[in-house]
A and B are shown apart, each in its own frame.
Chain A
Amino acid sequence: QFALTQPASVSGSPGQSITISCTGTSSDVGHHDCVSWYQQYPGKAPKLMIYEVTNRPSGVSNRFSGSKSGNTASLTISGLQAEDEADYYCSSCSTSHSYVFGSGTKVTVL
């Protein structure tokens, strides 16, 4: 299983918007609407931020939004805040009910 491809790092100033991409194949990201996004602080467990490409769980800020086009999914964080500085991972279901995570993106708030 190969990881989905994410940029290693993305940065932005407070108040700006940033977008993290997640590129897979027609067997995972492109084939199913099952992309999720997780936020992870150092030493902590991941936290679900987006599920099924565009849906936000209860309690997650509406500054976080997701989208997908073809084999690439994206997470956009608008109105960037200091607390958004963390690692972000995408995940997609794949063939035969298996899953794959992305390579991870470190978000830095300048």
Chain B
Amino acid sequence: QVQLVQSGAEVKRPGASVKVSCKASGYSFSTYAIHWVRQAPGQRLEWMGWIFAGNGDTLYSPNFQGRVSFTRDTSAGTAYMELSSLMSDDTAVYYCARNIRGSTWCDYWGQGTLVTVSS
């Protein structure tokens, strides 16, 4: 069955960077995109961007441009999201989600990774 399993919770200092992983299984990793979405405590979902696992094409939300980077390791079936220059406002649960390229929805989601930014 399709699964997206994310790395564990992180606590970071302001100004630091965090890297979250998303390991896919149960499907052909390279034929899908991975979207990243975050949700601050008690707040709405916020779209961060996507990476196409096949060729590494990326698209970032303007809200995160320059501060976020998506990569993938096709041999490991894993996508990564790295966010730099962390601020307290970046405290949130970060989700990865699968999206078949050419479609406009995400059908499977990871369990989420809580990133806490605190001094």
Which residues of A does B touch, CB under 8 Å?
A: 1, 3, 32, 34, 36, 38, 40, 45-48, 51-52, 57, 89, 91, 93, 96-104
Contact = CB atoms under 8 A, between A and B. Distances in A.
Interface in B95-113: 95, 97, 103-107, 109-112
A104 B111 contact: no
A5 B61 CA distance: 19
29 contacts: A1-B47, A1-B61, A1-B62, A1-B63, A3-B44, A34-B105, A36-B106, A45-B110, A45-B111, A46-B37, A46-B45, A48-B107, A51-B104, A51-B105, A52-B105, A89-B45, A97-B59, A98-B49, A98-B59, A98-B61, A99-B35, A99-B47, A99-B104, A101-B37, A101-B45, A101-B46, A101-B47, A104-B44, A104-B45
A104 B44 CA distance: 6
Contact of A36 (B44, B62, B105): B105
A96 B61 CA distance: 10
A93 B59 CA distance: 13
Q: Chain B interface secondary structure, helix, strand, loop or mixed?
A: loop
